[in-house]
Structure 1
Amino acid sequence: MSTLTAQLQETTAFIKGIYPHTPVAGIVLGSGLGNFANEIDIEAEIDYKDIPHFPVSTVEGHKGKLIFGILEGKKVVAMAGRFHFYEGYTSQAVTYPIRVMKFLGIQTLLLSNAAGGVNPDFRVGDIMIINDHISFGTANPLIGKNEESMGPRFPDMTEPYSHKLINIAKTVAVSNNISVKEGIYFVVTGPTFETKAEYRMIHKLGADAVGMSTVQETIVAAHMGLPVFAMSVITDMGLGDHEKITHEEVLIAAKAAEPKLATIFKGIVASL
């Protein structure tokens, strides 16, 4: 048994000792989106610091706990706060919670993030369904010895974001009069926001939004055969003569758009 497998089994056993039920979906809440947890009929909460082998979130806007409960009649687990490469964690540590949720039994992974818009048709407050990503800007979490029991050495990435889940989300958006964009997410390491030249480059490479999370989690989910749906809240615009970007402004914009994201996530969970 590998060290990673042993750690995952220890983590899972600890969590199941507190919450023995099997969640059908795992939800990762990005910067400024932690209030979505209020939509969940909470049955148990566990602080990250109490979970064996779990990292601890250090970013403002990330609460740092696993939340278990009922959403739209389904058992779910939500991460109120994720981990980032720029915090100094390895890409394997960043994605460890995704593997934990898979070991807990989830069948679907829902991801959210705050992102900078590089598509000139976007505006602050827009919601973008991620239909693909460009991952050259960060470390691949599968580098190193492959865990054959969890997935193949060379995972297919032709559909990193489930077409089925994207179609469900679009249907939910239309039925609730929510305007959504759709596009490609470009990941960078952070923690600096991008320069104007970098924004222009990212746009020319074909991306619609840029951020510092999500992609590593998606790669690990794909490795384990876990369907993913992901959405970005556009919290700033990188193209043009924009003002300086601050993390506080990102959090404010994310919170303002949160109800729309919550409606779509709830609709997806209801369909599972």
Structure 2
Amino acid sequence: MPRTSGKNVLEQTPRAHGHYPIEGQRGKRVSRWPRRRENTDRCSTNLPAAKRIIVKRNSFDSLVRSEAVSEAATWIRTRWNVRPRATIILGTGLSRLAEDVRIDAAFDYSRVPHIPTVTAIGHAGRLLCGRLAGLPVLVWNGRCHLYEGWSASQAALAVCVAGALGAELLVTTSASGGLNPEYQVGDIVLIDDHINLLGRNPLIGPNDDRIGPRFLDVSRAYDPRLSRLAEQCARRRGIKLQRGVYAAMLGPTYETPAEARFLRWIGADMAGMSLVPEVLVAVHLGLRVLAFSVITNLHRPASRKSDRAKARQVRKEPTRGEDVVAAAAEAEPRLRQLVQDVLRQEAER
């Protein structure tokens, strides 16, 4: 975003959900965003060079993010002038939910200013704007991961942009390895808490108090009302829905047996490589969060050495990305029904 004169100001979206200011919306006068860095060199965008902020992997902090969010939100708004009620992030092997969206506009991530590209298997890298189950939605078909070289702030940028456009609800999905002995491959788990072992937090850096507090309470990060609603919808459909704690690992390696034992010991029910940065930013912005994970492979951590040989027999073959995608795809029809039922209930509120 170019610097403005004293008469040209950004106008802020409603504060109720902690949104970023974006151009072209009515509201009160706010101060300019902090001055951007000059030593950056990467981001795909079609904006004129004079209006471009170029950012590179792992150099993306809140000073740059604020301007990048404003530019990306303005770019989308000029092509789809609708306030989304919800934003949805589709994880590994779960992209077919996009087929249910009544699409008004669709863009590859490479076209949207500052949105990171994706390289992970099973991620389409496409933004869909439209309606799902009666709600206006932004659907991010694929996500970037920290193991691809992006920072935690960049991994959560899609949520920031959705918040700037007015979204009130985040529905996020992922694939994960099961640690809980009650889980089976193909189970859908409703996430009710997480353990952040990424070693990263997207809120590090200068805080903008207009958006959210410096020290964020995440004791209720996953909205209890939405969780109860999801369980009710699952019961009506006859869908088995587990609950559990998600452990976020940096990746890209899968967990060793010792890591699996440790994760189970500290209270994790499943382990994955994403989701947490998005959730933290969503809570900071005031969005309600509903998160699902599909169990795509199993760990059976044993507490005694005598049990470890038996535990290894659960996975006779190494975990492969292709197998993870296939297992997620098997559960996808049930997850599609569940997400749409929840959104339909929200649309009727």
TM-score of Structure 1 vs Structure 2, range by shorter chain: over 0.9
Which amino acid in 2 is paired with 1:176? R
**Mapped pair 1:44 → 2:105:** yes
Matches within 5 A, 1:41-80: 41-80=102-141
Q: Distance in 1 between matches of 2:114 and 2:178?
A: 35
Q: Which has the higher strand share?
A: 1
Match of 1:251 among 325, 330, 339: 325
Q: Distance in 2 between matches of 1:164 and 1:170?
A: 10
Hey, what does 1:271 align to over in structure 2?
345
Contact 1:138 1:187 in 2 (8 A): no
Hey, what does 2:275 align to over in structure 1?
214
Q: Please report how far the alpha carbon of residue 13 of structure 1 lies from its aligned counterpart in structure 2 after TM superposition.
A: 0.9
Contact 1:169 1:264 in 2 (8 A): yes
- Deviation larger for 246-255 or 69-78: 69-78
- Deviation larger for 238-247 or 249-258: 238-247
Deviating beyond 4 angstroms after TM superposition, the runs of 4 or more aligned structure 1 residues are: none
Contact 2:221 2:289 in 1 (8 A): yes
Hey, what does 1:179 align to over in structure 2?
240
Q: Please report how far the alpha carbon of residue 35 of structure 1 lies from its aligned counterpart in structure 2 after TM superposition.
A: 0.8
Q: Please report how far the alpha carbon of residue 235 of structure 1 lies from its aligned counterpart in structure 2 after TM superposition.
A: 0.2
- Unpaired runs of 5+ in structure 2? 1-32, 35-63, 301-310
Which amino acid in 1 is paired with 2:344? A
Which amino acid in 2 is paired with 1:256? E
**Mapped pair 1:225 → 2:286:** yes
Hey, what does 1:94 align to over in structure 2?
155
CA RMSD for the aligned pairs? Answer: 0.9
Contact 2:65 2:153 in 1 (8 A): no
Matches within 5 A, 1:1-272: 1-2=33-34, 3-239=64-300, 240-241=311-312, 242=315, 243-272=317-346
Which amino acid in 2 is paired with 1:154? F
Q: Please report how far the alpha carbon of residue 6 of structure 1 lies from its aligned counterpart in structure 2 after TM superposition.
A: 2.2
Which amino acid in 1 is paired with 2:287? L
RCO higher in 1 or 2 (8 Å CA, sep ≥ 6)?
1
Identity level (%): 38
**TM-score normalised over the length of structure 2:** 0.77
Which SS does the other structure have where 1:166 is aligned? helix
Contact 2:168 2:286 in 1 (8 A): no
Which SS does the other structure have where 2:262 is aligned? helix
Q: Please report how far the alpha carbon of residue 68 of structure 1 lies from its aligned counterpart in structure 2 after TM superposition.
A: 1.0
Q: Distance in 2 between matches of 1:54 and 1:148?
A: 24
Which SS does the other structure have where 1:18 is aligned? coil
Aligned residues: 272
Q: Please report how far the alpha carbon of residue 39 of structure 1 lies from its aligned counterpart in structure 2 after TM superposition.
A: 1.1
Q: For 1:87-126, what per-residue CA distance to the aligned partner results, in whole angstroms no more than 9, with x for missing partners? A: 0001111111110010111110000000000001110000
Q: Please report how far the alpha carbon of residue 54 of structure 1 lies from its aligned counterpart in structure 2 after TM superposition.
A: 1.3
Q: Which has the larger radius of gyration?
A: 2
Q: For 1:161-186, what per-residue CA distance to the aligned partner results, in whole angstroms no more than 9, with x for missing partners? A: 00000000000000000011001000
Which amino acid in 1 is paired with 2:247? F
- Unpaired runs of 5+ in structure 1? none
Q: For 1:51-83, what per-residue CA distance to the aligned partner results, in whole angstroms no more than 9, with x for missing partners? A: 111111111211111101111111111000101
